[in-house]
Amino acid sequence: MDRKTVIDAAAGRTEADVVIKNATVVDVFNGRTVKGDVAVIGDKFAGVGEYSGKTEIDGTGKFVMPSFYDAHLHFESVMVRPSEYLKISIPKGVTAYNADPHEIANVCGENGIKFMLDDVKGIPADVRFMMPSCVPSAPEDRSGCVLGAAEVKRIVGKYGLSGLGEMMNYPGVIGCDPDVLAKLGVCPIADGHAPGLTGNALNAYLSAGILTDHECESAEEALDKVSRGMYVLIREGSQTKNLRELVKAVNKTNLRRFLFCTDDRNIEDLINYGTVGNCVRLAVECGMDAVDAITIASLNAYEAYGIARTGGIAPGWTADFLVTSDITAQKVDKVFYHGKLAAEDGKPLFEVAPASVDMVTGTVHIPEITPESLKFPFKPGMPVMKVYPRTVVTELGKAGDTPEGLNLMCCIERHFASGDIGHCYVEGFRFKGGAIAQTVGHDSHNITVLGDSAEDMALAVNSLGEDGGLALVSHGKLVGKLPLEIAGLMTARTAEEAMEIRSKLKEALAASDYNKDIEPFMLLSFLSLIVIPAAKLNHKGLFDVTNWKYIYEG
């Protein structure tokens, strides 16, 4: 669209392409709403005022607001391919995404990244893929691929990726690991991952050029990081739910330093509650002004990532916006992307192409798993991992005199059939009468299995096959399975088909006896991620994240 055409429409000398008449417009610049017509010419806003258009939409009683930006997510966590995710999330008002494909990169390397890029082509959304910075997440892990600084630089240049994904190896940053520092020099933008870092350690981490953090657990931690120049991402995922605590840190002075993100969301929550719109709703329920919540959901993210003239409704700005019946955008009537209608009444107005998955299947390679290979002797007072609801942060505890109330957990290396298996006991799951196993195990995605019987655990693991997925065993029988043929992380089925299969799996899970305050498959997927405190299990053994050493191996 040439500049004269936009100016003529803005001046009212020519008709706009689309005009939303008599709307209530969310002004994220002044923190208020105003009445007026919203005019769109091409992919830009012409202005807010009095306009006529080739297409006019009655906005009486409607809100017009900038569409939303999910500042950090992993498509893989929803277990459907990105295009299927977008088919659900765009109609809910999200048209921009910072997606870090480090899950599939840890399994398939460059082939996995290319698959994700190809899968979103032609979809009306601004999907900004970040370059995975930690493949594997730490040197102690064993993933399907290793991407050093030279590979990171090559892949960023080849595919034009938008920045460096979350730098989870904070010990490597603080300790000036040469490969880590070289990665940080590849892109001007680098997302962070710094759970619990404070003081000089945090200063050292930030001095490397880290922009954001999505791992804050308390308002105090968020305020500390904002005071040091970070953007804090308020995360509301399916297992990790930080929003209600972190909104306590937001005030009129620091409002512009916060963004919303989902990080890891399961398909039920995606379909039933949405993503960033859900964050807006919850923030308002917690007492935040609705326009402030919308500002965090839109303008803040664009400004943080240096994307000019997007995220607000203003002359010459990119026309990505919503028409919605309520100020928290829970009923989205229309979604526009670059001035074109992308979704209406909860339905996408675009098609999703069939999946091409040949390069990212058949990724599970393990030797025969027997009950004997999973058994682990219990000793009174031995170290155990303690888990809790609504968080993936764990604690290191001690067992009592008996294994009562504990579950056995194993992490099985699945990329090279090495036979490496880490074992530990877990407190807090309280799973009885069966086992769950999965090839989703952040971030190296080895197999994690948990249960109260080595026999049931072996059955669950062996049922995953060479493509992987989720499996549930109850009293010696396989009662549910969701195949995830794309890298053992995602299904090639549609979102609706995946939801149906997962619903049946959840029904079977609901009949099991476990701590109902946790989301078992989501939580289990994080119990092998050794860059989140305080105790985790990888393919070698139980790891003390705080002191960065193995508690025991095997």
**Same domain (yes/no): 280, 366:** no
Q: What does 488-547 look like in DSSP terms, one character per residue?
A: TTBBSS-HHHHHHHHHHHHHHHHTSBS-TTS-HHHHHHHTT-TTSSSEEE-SSEEEETTT
Q: What is the CA radius of gyration of the chain?
A: 24
Distance CA 117, CA 159 (A): 9
The answer to the question of residue 169 being in a domain is: yes
Distance CA 236, CA 84 (A): 21
The answer to the question of residue 342 being in a domain is: no
How confident is the model at residue 239, as a pLDDT?
Answer: 83
Domain boundary among 270, 285, 305: 305
Domain around 75 = 67-305
Domain boundary among 305, 321, 343: 305
**Same domain (yes/no): 399, 294:** no
3-state secondary structure of 321: strand
Find the DSSP H helices in 25-148: 82-89, 102-108, 110-119
Distance CA 384, CA 515 (A): 17
**Same domain (yes/no): 109, 178:** yes
How confident is the model at residue 1, as a pLDDT?
Answer: 80
Give me the residues paired with residue 25 across strands: 34, 64
Q: What is the mean pLDDT of each run of 10 residues along the chain (554 residues)?
A: 94 98 98 98 98 98 98 96 98 98 97 97 98 93 96 98 95 96 96 96 98 97 98 94 97 98 93 97 98 98 98 98 97 98 98 92 97 97 96 95 97 98 98 97 96 98 97 97 97 94 92 94 94 95 95 93
Residue 274's domain is classified under what CATH number? 3.20.20.140
The answer to the question of residue 17 being in a domain is: no
**Same domain (yes/no): 287, 396:** no
The answer to the question of residue 541 being in a domain is: yes
pTM exceeding the 0.85 threshold for the entire prediction: yes
Question: H/E element holding 279?
Answer: helix 276-285
Domain boundary among 282, 305, 328: 305
**Same domain (yes/no): 433, 301:** no
The answer to the question of residue 245 being in a domain is: yes
How confident is the model at residue 498, as a pLDDT?
Answer: 94
What are φ and ψ of residue 462, in 5° steps? -65, -20
**Same domain (yes/no): 523, 447:** yes
CB 261 within 8 A of CB 288: no
CB 509 within 8 A of CB 502: no
Burial of 353 (0-12, 13-18, 19+ CB in 10 A): exposed
How confident is the model at residue 541, as a pLDDT?
Answer: 98
The answer to the question of residue 7 being in a domain is: no
**Same domain (yes/no): 467, 539:** yes
**Same domain (yes/no): 401, 532:** yes
How confident is the model at residue 515, as a pLDDT?
Answer: 96
CB 136 within 8 A of CB 142: yes
**Same domain (yes/no): 295, 367:** no
**Same domain (yes/no): 370, 250:** no
**Same domain (yes/no): 370, 299:** no
Question: H/E element holding 245?
Answer: helix 243-246
Distance CA 406, CA 91 (A): 43
How confident is the model at residue 322, as a pLDDT?
Answer: 98
Distance CA 33, CA 292 (A): 11
Distance CA 225, CA 216 (A): 9
The answer to the question of residue 55 being in a domain is: no
Give me the residues paired with residue 417 across strands: none
Question: H/E element holding 544?
Answer: strand 541-544
The answer to the question of residue 197 being in a domain is: yes
Tally of helices (H runs) and strands (E runs) in the chain = 18, 28
How confident is the model at residue 5, as a pLDDT?
Answer: 96
- Counting the structural domains of the chain, the total is 2
**Same domain (yes/no): 368, 269:** no
* DSSP for residue 249: G
Structure-block tokens of residue 105: 């990169």
